[in-house]
Each structure stands twice: as C-alpha cells, then as structure tokens.
Amino acid sequence: MAVYRIKIGQNEYRIEISETGIKINDEEIQADLLQLNEAGLYLLNHGDDKLELHMRVEGDSSYLVMADGKQITAQVEPERDRVQSRSTPSTDDELRAPMPGLVISVNVEVGQKVNEGQSVCVIESMKMQMAIHAPKDGVVKDVLIQSDQKVEKDALLIVLK
C-alpha cells in the first residue's frame, strides 16, 4: 500500500492506494487516474464523471495541476517520509515500486540518458496508473522490469548512474 499526504492550500488529505482500492481521508472512492501522454496529461475517471488534468512537477514535492480552467499547486509527500517505515525507499540511483502492481510500460532502456522528472515507467494498481519519474538527470544503468510484469511494493525497477 502506498500512502501520501497531499496539501492544497490550507487543506490536507491522506491518500491510500492499495490492491483493494483508493481511500481519501479513510473514505473509499471509485476512481481511475490514467496517464495519457508524457507531457503530463491525465484522465481522471470518478463514477460517470471524467476530467482531463495536466500535471507538471514544480519541485521536489510540488506539482502544478491544471483542470477545468483552474490551476492549483499541490504538495505531495509520501507518508513514509513523515514517519519511519519498514519499507526500502528509493534512492537517487535506485527506483523502487511504491506499491504492488502491474508494469504497464517501460519508457527507457539501458544506456539511455534521462532528465529529472522524466517518466521512466508506469505501474498500475487497482486501475490507477502511476508514472515513476527519474529523481535526477542520469543514464539508465539497468532495467529490471518489463511490460506486463507484476511487481511487489519496494521491488527494484530501474537503476540510474
């Protein structure tokens, strides 16, 4: 299970993403977030409602989100950064799965140069897709996954140098 704290203005939300679903502040919701392209375009499906979002990384934990003519800044922090966790966190060189899931796409290959914030792979869990981004500029040293592969939480995905 991946747990995040998201702060938008004065409001803070606790988001849990697990194999069984998504919870916002302990309330289970039915939603899918699909990445449509590498430029940060996403589609949010919530019941019968659909909303196109454009998200852009603004800093280490800051995202600019534009949707329906509105623009917000969201601070996203994995809960493991706030409290000690038994999991093995990603480092700047090792990218690990934040949750169990299925690898939807691998967007890099060994020897390829990557830029900070670039999507290197996409993992799906409970119909929610999460792009894994390079934490720094570098070169791909090893790719330990392939499309349609199941991964466990904290599985080593990609190594940079």
Summarised one tens digit per residue, pLDDT across range 37-96 is: 878 888 888 888 999 999 888 777 788 889 888 999 988 887 754 443 334 445 678 999
The yes-or-no answer to whether 2-80 and 87-160 have a common fold is no
pLDDT at position 22 is 82
Query: Using 50, 70 and 90 to split pLDDT, how confident is the model at 9?
Result: confident
- The candidate with the shortest Cα–Cα distance to 73, out of 143, 22, 158, 11, is 11
Contacts of residue 42, Cβ cutoff 8 Å, sequence gap at least 6? 33, 34, 35, 36, 52, 53, 54, 55
Rounded Cα distance, 91 and 87, in Å:
12
Q: Assess whether pLDDT exceeds 90 at residue 19.
A: no
Of all residues in the chain, the percent with pLDDT exceeding 90 is 30
More confident residue, 3 or 110: 110
pTM (predicted TM-score): 0.51
pLDDT at position 85 is 38
The third-level CATH classification (topology) of the domain covering 2-80 is: Lipocalin (2.40.128)
**CATH 3.40.50.850 given to domain 87-160:** no
For the chain, domain boundaries: 2-80, 87-160
